[in-house]
Every structure is written in C-alpha cells, then in structure tokens.
Copies of this chain bind each other. A is one copy, B any other.
Amino acid sequence: MTETAFERRTRACQQRLRDGAGDLAVLFPSRNLFYATGFDEEPQERHLFLFVPAEGDPTFLVPDLYGSQVESESWVEDVRTWSDGEDPVAAVEDVVADLSVPADGHVLVDDTMWALFTQDLEAALPDASFGLASVVFDELRVRKDEAELDALRRAGQLADEVSVALRELGEEVVGWTEAELAAEIESRLVSGGGESVSFDVIAGSGPNGAMPHHTHGDREIERGDPVVLDFGAYVDGYPGDQTRTVVFAGEPPERFAEVHGTVREALEAGVSAVEPGVTAESVDRAAREVIEDAGYGERFVHRTGHGVGLDVHEPPYIVDGNGTELEPGMVFSVEPGVYLDGEFGVRIEDLVVVTEDGCERLNESPHGWRVGDSE
C-alpha cells in the first residue's frame, strides 16, 4: 500500500472528527493504527501513540528504538521519540499541548487501548471526555479502498490455489488425521505467501463436520467422508476465508449430494442478492430461503456471513435484523451451511465485494464436492 493511501485514510478520519465525532483521536498499536499508517506491531508496555487532531497534522510519539523505523516507513512527518530514561507521561503532555485540542474536548481512543495508557491520557487531559475510536474507524474501514481490495483479492487467490491443490491429493488423504490435513493446509498457505493463517484451519470430517465450531482433531479421514475445509491466510495484512466441502475418495453417505446441492444453491442465491442499497439481512434471507424450502431450515444454525477486512470478523454482519444497506466496497462472506448431527455437515463460503451494480467474487476455486469437479 502506498503512503498516499494511508494519508488519505487519516484525512478521512479527520473529516469525521470535524463533522462532530470529536476533537482528537489517539491510536496505539492496533488495526486502526495499521489502517492509518501501516505500522504493524503488537501492543507492548512502552507508550506508543498516534495523535490525530480534527485540524492540522497528526503526531507520532514512539519509544526511541522505533524512531528511525517510523520516520522512514510512515507518511507522518511529525515523529517524536522518548527514551527509557525519560517520563513518557511528560512526553504525552508535551504533544497534547502542541495540538491545541480544547481542554474540555472529546477524545476518541482505540477500543483495545490498554488501561496502562488510557489512564495516562486521562491524566494529561483531565477535563476531556472520552469515547471510542471505532465510532470513526468502523465506518471508514467497512468500505474498502483499492489498496485493500487488492490485498483481499490476493488473499482470495491464495486460498483458491491451496483449495485446488488439496483436491489433487484425492485418495492420498484417506487415513490422514484431521490434524495432519490441517497442518498440510497451513503449511501450503504459508509457503504460498501467506503471512499467517487467518484462524485455526477447520478440517471437519464425517460427523465432526456437523459441529460448526470443531476445528480439527485426531479422527482419521475415511473413504466416503465429507470433509468441511474452512481456511485462509493473511496477505499484506488482509485475510482470506473460504470454505469447501469435499469427498476425497469413495462415495459419500445418502442425502449428502442432495444437501450439498441445496447449500450450493443457497450460496448462489445469497451472492445473487448482493447489490448496493439492499440490506445485509436481505442477503441472509435469500440464502436461508433456499435451505428452508428444501426442508433443512432448522439445520442452518448460524448467520449467513460476516464482514472481512483487517479483522477476519467485522461489520457488516449478514444476519437477520441487520438493516445496514450495502455500499460499494463492502466485503463479506456468504457461507450457508447445513449440519446433520452425527452424520455430516456441509458449508460453502465465498467472499464478495459489493460493486456499483452487484458484486465481485474473491474466490473462484471449484465448488463441487467431487475432487475431480472443475467448477
């Protein structure tokens, strides 16, 4: 992502502050800070903040061991450092004084900011009121820009490549445990360029596939087992997330082909319903109706999907009761499923981006349950 993309996002945050959200946003190592600057570290015990005032330019305050990295890698020009011998609270007070934020202003802090840091900010701004930065960032992050879509497309492509390669294993997978299959998937995602897996790989075989939260265990995959494969990996900070349900060898149980066909049809109905202006819940409805009409409504036990961005689960949630109207640039999963206790489960999932007149799919690997299927 370019420096310009990061600056554009921060300027959009400032516009929302001026529109009434607050006088100052303060970020620490978080997905919001990555979104605004590209700074990508875990929270740690040393004070590290980005101050984004409603007016003017932002200021980074970082421990001196991060100084040269932040100066060279971030678009932010005002980078201040403090060293282990200094008092970070005094450094915070200095920055706040220079920002000319009203003493009784409203300050938004990262939702995940540690009390260790919010207590110091509250001490430095004793008359300010405090709110959460998600008020501004959730609305910005829900519509992805081109740089984000590019990363999400590559994460989708990586999941596709691994999905296709898994199908080619066919018979070879019979006798592996779910854990061995999951390890193989993780290894292929990482060697294919993924930074890390988006979540614990799900490889639910036979009756284990009927438990939507089962990840993988020591059950051996048998001939004829349907296997729910749900996985993805991060590329440039954005996760892939794709599900296919396949049979590696042999003939599946009775009813499986019928159920798989129903779920596949529900996926298509959900994806077809996506366009700007329709509500999130109407996409859920479109997919759910297909499954209800086939008599499996009670067995579709979860929402139809979730937004995907810097977080693998984020708004918009594709769920009954969510009247959010879809807008171009929103990215979410469509993942209907049917779970038959003690028998098998079927889930099929693609990610989509809302476009001006419908949607674009981020996953294109075959949906069919036979590993030889070409679509």
Contact = CB atoms under 8 A, between A and B. Distances in A.
Interface residues of A, number: 14
Nearest to A130: B119
A111 B119 CA distance: 9
Nearest to A121: B115
B118 A132 contact: no
One complex includes copies of this chain to the number of 2
A119 B108 CA distance: 11
The SS class assigned to the A binding surface is mixed
A5 interface: no
A199 to B, nearest CB: 12
B114 A113 contact: yes
A115 B119 contact: no
A189 interface: no
Contacts of A111: 114-116
Contacts of A109: 115
A112 interface: yes
A132 B116 CA distance: 7
A111 B110 CA distance: 15
A114 B112 contact: yes
Contact of A132 (B43, B113, B115, B132): B115
A99 B276 CA distance: 50
Nearest to A45: B111
Contacts of A131: 119
Interface string A194-217: 000000000000000000000000
A114 B111 CA distance: 6
A132 to B, nearest CB: 6
A211 B119 CA distance: 36
Nearest to A134: B116
A220 B110 CA distance: 43
A110 B114 CA distance: 8
A324 B248 CA distance: 62
A327 B109 CA distance: 40
Contacts of A113: 114-115
A123 to B, nearest CB: 10
10 contacts: A43-B112, A110-B115, A111-B116, A112-B115, A113-B115, A114-B114, A115-B130, A118-B118, A119-B130, A119-B131
